[in-house]
Structure 1
């Protein structure tokens, strides 16, 4: 069983700009260094990705994963769950997005990962935290 990791950042950008970056899954490789490729496989009637295949290289976490995106709580949050992967056995996450004022947005990213290989839980938790922290910093750089 994996532990959930999370981190929160305040970004100096309007809510709409942050949501636009986070909600455009196909552009993740342009600004997220851990995502090497993102192919949207299915979209909903609003053009939002509901299934995407991502090539991930986040240090010890390297894999090709197919994620299912849940838009039921959008625009306040975006969640994903893993459909299939080569090595990972779990990859679930949620971005929680909240405007603090007109020009600043709080984003909390929660991530849970499990791998099929025998890796100490402490190493997985550390990798999760590094992935989360990098993603939030790169999101801030993208929209600021």
Structure 2
């Protein structure tokens, strides 16, 4: 899973406000297209999710996977697959936040592996669609 896809967007809000939205995993279906539900299974000392179950509808397929989260304050969160689904066999992602003039730059990186063989270009195109949709939804949700 060395190849990752990433994209960046600027949101007119501070890091802590944006990270609060990102950390509210059960609210993802309200703003993250394709996410059907997230159930937090464990939390860390900071009260943020350390393990969660994610159910998504990815267009041609749906799946439920288990994820482990690592939080670095309001600067970064990473997640990795700890329970494969019926389709998804590998997943690693992150949100990184950096304050810029007038807002915060949010970078989303994602790498997904699936049981179905895909050409690299098709896989990256799918990852890019997921990332861009999530970033636009996050921006709309935070700025509204």
| TM-score of the aligned structures, taking structure 1 as reference length | 0.91
Q: Hey, what does 1:120 align to over in structure 2?
A: 119
Q: Hey, what does 2:105 align to over in structure 1?
A: 106
Check the 8 A contact 1:42/1:50 in 2, yes or no: yes
Report matched runs for 1:20-35 at 5 Å: 20-35=20-35
Q: CA deviation digits over 1:6-47, x for unaligned, max 9?
A: 000011122222111011112111211121011000111221
State whether structure 2 residue 40 is matched by structure 1 residue 37: no
Check the 8 A contact 2:15/2:75 in 1, yes or no: no
Q: Hey, what does 2:140 align to over in structure 1?
A: 141
Q: Which runs of 5+ in 1 are unaligned?
A: none
Check the 8 A contact 1:63/1:85 in 2, yes or no: no
Q: CA RMSD in A?
A: 1.4
Q: Which runs of 5+ in 2 are unaligned?
A: none
| TM-score of the aligned structures, taking structure 2 as reference length | 0.91
Report matched runs for 1:1-80 at 5 Å: 1=1, 3-60=3-60, 62-71=62-71, 73-80=72-79
Q: Distance in 2 between matches of 1:6 and 1:104?
A: 19
Deviating 4+ runs (over 6 angstroms): none
Q: CA deviation digits over 1:87-130, x for unaligned, max 9?
A: 111110010001114x4110000000111112222211110000
Cα distance, 1:2 vs structure 2: 5.7
Cα distance, 1:65 vs structure 2: 1.0
Check the 8 A contact 2:16/2:74 in 1, yes or no: no
Q: Distance in 2 between matches of 1:134 and 1:23?
A: 18
| Residues paired across the two proteins, number | 142
